[in-house]
Structure 1
Amino acid sequence: MSLTRTMSNTTSPHFYAEMGELISNSGQEDFAAHMLHLVDKWVPIHMVDLSEWTLDELRDRVLDIKLLGSAGLKSELSAPQTLHPLKDHPLLREMLRMQDPLLIQMRAQPNSAHPRGTSHQCNLVARQGNRRQVISFYRPPAERGFSLAELSFLKCLSDTLLPLLERHAQLLHQAPQSSMEPVHNPLEQSQLQREFYKRLSLSDITLSAREQEVCLGLLTGGTVPQMAEKLSVKNSSVETYLKRAAAKLGVSGRHGLAKWMVGA
């Protein structure tokens, strides 16, 4: 797969349809599976772990590691191990004093004592107080490690994925396990629509009805011609609605719209 070609395709409707699916599944059991599906199309990965670390920064140690989700071909990686506090965990040193989001690459180490340490890893890390939200992507040791181009792409994508993981963690903390089942009633507003209107309300931003329709349509993978046909307007009118909405939201283009949806 040509990474250059697929990276340029992240402006495609399919990418944003999948990003919309990921956003709408925040707090759900299959959130990790949706993230794996989205990322694997652009950077091949076999598994993803989502975790939240609680650190004792005064004593430089891990207090707890909570798994927030996992998906992928576990049989192709090292045998799963229970996540548990380890004072010498290879990620700990870099995470202790961090301020800005990090990308930490770890190449496969034979006979590693750490969870999945015998696999190639790319870890995206965000800080929130004494907590760290971590997205870990894996490849089997028999395959090549992550290239510089792939790492650069994942770093760029982390601007959206990490705030979304933080939101996923908050929803898991707030909701009981039984409430994590997705809603399938087609008569109700979609989760994405509810989140979109909630974000508008919290931001105290007013969009026209057409601007809202265009934003939601593009977030769910619609193309400009499709939106123009649906609204019975010209393509240029759809572009104008998007530009007006983007200006009010303080973003640029469809990618900026997706990042705004997750509070990035």
Structure 2
Amino acid sequence: MRLLHPDPAAHGHYLVGVRPDTLGAAIRAVGTPDFIGAVTAFVNDSIAADAVHLERWRTDTGSASGHVVEWLGSGSVRRAADTLRVMDLYYHDYCHVDPLFAPLRGKAGTLLVQRHIDGLANGEFRRRIFDEPGIAQECVLVHGNAHVQYALGLARAGGQAAFTTDELFHFRQMVDLLFPMFELHARTYAARRVASAAPNALSHAGQAGFDARLERQDVQLSRREHEICRLMLCGRSVPEAAQQLDVKLSTAESYVKRAFAKLGVRTRRELFDWVLVDC
């Protein structure tokens, strides 16, 4: 493992040791589905991580939380499918209630934070996101300004050694190399999930009521029509739903138009009322 290398000409500053091939692979993958995998490989050159996560936070006065959280992707060199499943759950249900990040959002500059599972209260969040997938610790590097921030998280499974001071210092030095790429990637590639805590989103029970009423009314929605209605009931806007479903905005609007015609509603407010009428 290569960590920090003193730079004799830098008067106490350090240079990050990197492999040109893995750094080059990350640069070439910007704006493509391979980017997160390339970043995962680059990070694991010097810091062992069971999972790597990348997200962006943007201020949004229309959101209940004041921020929109965009999951730009996750990677793992060992268990990619499990990592994606857990993180999809995290960004669907828990990212806005995660106590680690609330005080960091909107802070300008660079922040490095750590978390160990022993510091988490017992409950559904810990069980589903940490205990069941076997994650014991993580460190997160956050960089940006009051309006836009990027967060790169590294996670380790139980039984692994704690992140060392040298590893954390090395991680901190990656800001100048990686974060400009994150910004370019976010501009050219859709987020995997856009999580916006909307004040009028239905609870899980209310969303289940949507499915129940569809069955009672014998309304047949296509898979995509059903997905976009559920996203809107979660508080997503149509553009956010389009990003999450990875379709064009015009295509998402067509799904909405067809679904609303079948349901006999004209607006999202009427969609909420249609679900709640029998709840």
TM-score class normalised by the smaller sequence: 0.5 to 0.7
Relative distance call for 1:22 and 1:129 in structure 2 (3 A) is: same
Larger CA Rg, structure 1 vs 2: 2
Residues 112 and 141 of structure 2 are in contact (CA less than 8 Å); yes or no, is this contact kept in structure 1?
yes
Tell me the residue number matched to 1:132: 149
Relative distance call for 1:49 and 1:62 in structure 2 (3 A) is: farther
Tell me the residue number matched to 1:149: 166
Equivalent position SS for 1:94: coil
| Unaligned runs of at least 5 residues, structure 1 | 179-264
Structure 1 residue 26 corresponds to structure 2 residue 30: yes
| Unaligned runs of at least 5 residues, structure 2 | 6-13, 192-242, 248-279
Q: Residue 106 of structure 1 is aligned with which of 87, 112, 115?
A: 115
Cα distance in 1, alignment partners of residues 110 and 62 from structure 2: 20
- Deviations for 1:180-222, whole angstroms, at most 9, x for unmatched residues? xxxxxxxxxxxxxxxxxxxxxxxxxxxxxxxxxxxxxxxxxxx
Counterpart of 1:18, as a letter, is T
Tell me the residue number matched to 2:138: 121
Counterpart of 1:82, as a letter, is Y
Relative distance call for 1:57 and 1:158 in structure 2 (3 A) is: farther
Structure 1 residue 96 corresponds to structure 2 residue 105: yes
Counterpart of 1:120, as a letter, is Q
- Deviations for 1:201-259, whole angstroms, at most 9, x for unmatched residues? xxxxxxxxxxxxxxxxxxxxxxxxxxxxxxxxxxxxxxxxxxxxxxxxxxxxxxxxxxx
Counterpart of 2:100, as a letter, is L
Cα distance in 1, alignment partners of residues 70 and 84 from structure 2: 20
Structure 1 residue 164 corresponds to structure 2 residue 168: no
Q: Residue 65 of structure 2 is aligned with which of 61, 77, 86?
A: 61
Cα distance in 2, alignment partners of residues 77 and 102 from structure 1: 24
Deviation at 1:82, TM superposition (A): 3.5
Q: Residue 83 of structure 1 is aligned with which of 75, 91, 97?
A: 91
Residues 52 and 154 of structure 2 are in contact (CA less than 8 Å); yes or no, is this contact kept in structure 1?
yes
Residues 108 and 141 of structure 1 are in contact (CA less than 8 Å); yes or no, is this contact kept in structure 2?
no
Tell me the residue number matched to 2:253: none
Tell me the residue number matched to 1:258: none
Matches within 5 A, 1:174-185: none
Deviation at 1:43, TM superposition (A): 0.8
Residues 124 and 162 of structure 1 are in contact (CA less than 8 Å); yes or no, is this contact kept in structure 2?
no
- Deviations for 1:107-130, whole angstroms, at most 9, x for unmatched residues? 224656167444311111122553
Residues 61 and 92 of structure 1 are in contact (CA less than 8 Å); yes or no, is this contact kept in structure 2?
no
Deviation at 1:103, TM superposition (A): 1.3
Relative distance call for 1:57 and 1:34 in structure 2 (3 A) is: same
- Deviations for 1:77-112, whole angstroms, at most 9, x for unmatched residues? 797123046554223333234110211211224656
Counterpart of 1:83, as a letter, is Y
Cα distance in 1, alignment partners of residues 105 and 62 from structure 2: 9
Equivalent position SS for 2:103: helix
- Taking CA–CA contacts closer than 8 Å with sequence separation of 6 or more, which of the two structures ends up with the larger relative contact order? 1
Cα distance in 2, alignment partners of residues 149 and 122 from structure 1: 13
Counterpart of 1:122, as a letter, is C
Give the TM-score normalised by structure 1: 0.54
| Identity across matched positions, percent | 20
Matches within 5 A, 1:181-192: none
Cα distance in 2, alignment partners of residues 63 and 9 from structure 1: 34
Structure 1 residue 37 corresponds to structure 2 residue 46: no
Residues 52 and 132 of structure 1 are in contact (CA less than 8 Å); yes or no, is this contact kept in structure 2?
yes
Equivalent position SS for 1:96: coil
Counterpart of 1:105, as a letter, is Q
Coordinate RMSD, CA, aligned: 3.8
Deviation at 1:40, TM superposition (A): 0.6
Relative distance call for 1:56 and 1:89 in structure 2 (3 A) is: farther
Residues 108 and 146 of structure 2 are in contact (CA less than 8 Å); yes or no, is this contact kept in structure 1?
no
